[in-house]
Amino acid sequence: MIDFRLDDEYEELRRTVRDFARAEVAPVIGDYYEREAFPYDLVARMGSMGLFGLPFPESHGGMGGDYFALCLALEELARVDSSVAITLEAGVSLGAMPIHRFGTEEQKRRWLPDLCAGTALGAFGLTEPSGGSDAGATRTSAWLDGDEWVIDGSKSFITNSGTDITSLVTVTAVTGRGDDGGKEISAIIVPARTPGFAVAPQYSKVGWNASDTHELSFAECRVPAENLLGERGRGYAQFLSILDEGRVAIAALSVGLAQGCVDECLRYVSEREAFGHTIGRYQAVQFKLADMEMRTHTARLAYYQAAAKMLRGEPFKKEAAIAKLTASNAAMDNAREATQIHGGYGFMNEFAVGRFYRDAKILEIGEGTSEVQRMLIARELGLTPA
């Protein structure tokens, strides 16, 4: 029997995060956003709630849940604010998950308890200034000098990389050449504040203004040889698998933003009057909201299916790409329509939909652009490029 109802444990988590988002995030996040300040107190509260440890085993400080639980939390947070949601998403899927998936037992014991508690944040340095979607064009290099890796290069657009509680950044680097002459790319853990590791000033961004994003540079940065994460030469392949999971999480976040647009508009159209009626009485507005709800509903089903296949251990690359593409499109379209429904007020930062509009665009870019998602879907259909 097909049943899309959530079990009691998932529903309780959803309610708990929704209450937190509405009661504690919503009243204060606009101020953080305008000041472009990182919300340390909200992150600490999420840590105490166990959100950063949701998909990790209790043996390493986690909550013993699964990745779908994380997705539900992300959706509820993003209904109110995406900066807080992306801080959680990146902290879990990009910061802690690679260590959980590929780390040694010693690496897990050292790093995961604080990452799961939210008292520390991790980041993953993949993208480079000249690379963009072509992550295989990595130029950052690392070589062994005795019992140390020496790292040179730079990374760009790295979330959670420069906060006061950032404890590590895992970076991909060229560590040699394979038998076919191609680049051997490995992943290496670099603790924060390691000599030779520099964090540039915070980017000035269009959206996600209460999240932390920096360019990173490495100049003869030395870390112990045992900081290699996973197998040497498997760093790129490892991260591709992490990206598949991350796309499901970004889809959930996108659904949250899309649903938040519906929520805000339903409140607004029941109060705003024009030409003698609340504007929710007019069919043009009703049709916009019907389309917004349709997009949100469809995108939610897409990420639910992708998450279900992931948890069953089935191949889910195509479903993850479909979910990410569908949901990010829904978020962008809903944010545009929500701003239109609000009229001039939608252009004011004091209204949540203005923030949603600024935040939505990056969802069509981050963790694989919409073009990359289409490319992945086509490949999964058996189509090859000319």
Catalytic residue, from 76, 89, 367, 380: name it. 367
Distance in angstroms (rounded) separating the CA atoms of residues 336 and 272: 18
Integer angstrom CA distances of residue 179 from 101, 143, 228, 309: 26, 17, 21, 35
SS3 152: strand
Query: Residue 292 phi/psi, 5° resolution?
Result: -65, -45
Distance in angstroms (rounded) separating the CA atoms of residues 28 and 145: 49
Amino acid occupying residue 246: G
Beta bridge partners of 207: none
User: 256-294 b/e with 16+ CB inside 10 Å = b?
Assistant: bbbbbbbbbbeebbeebeeeeeebbeeeebeebbeebbe
Catalytic annotation on 75? no
How many CB atoms are located within 10 Å of the residue 109 CB? 13
SS3 240: helix
Alpha helices (H) along 166-282: 235-269
Provide the token pair at 301: 């089903």
Q: Give the catalytic positions in this structure.
A: 367
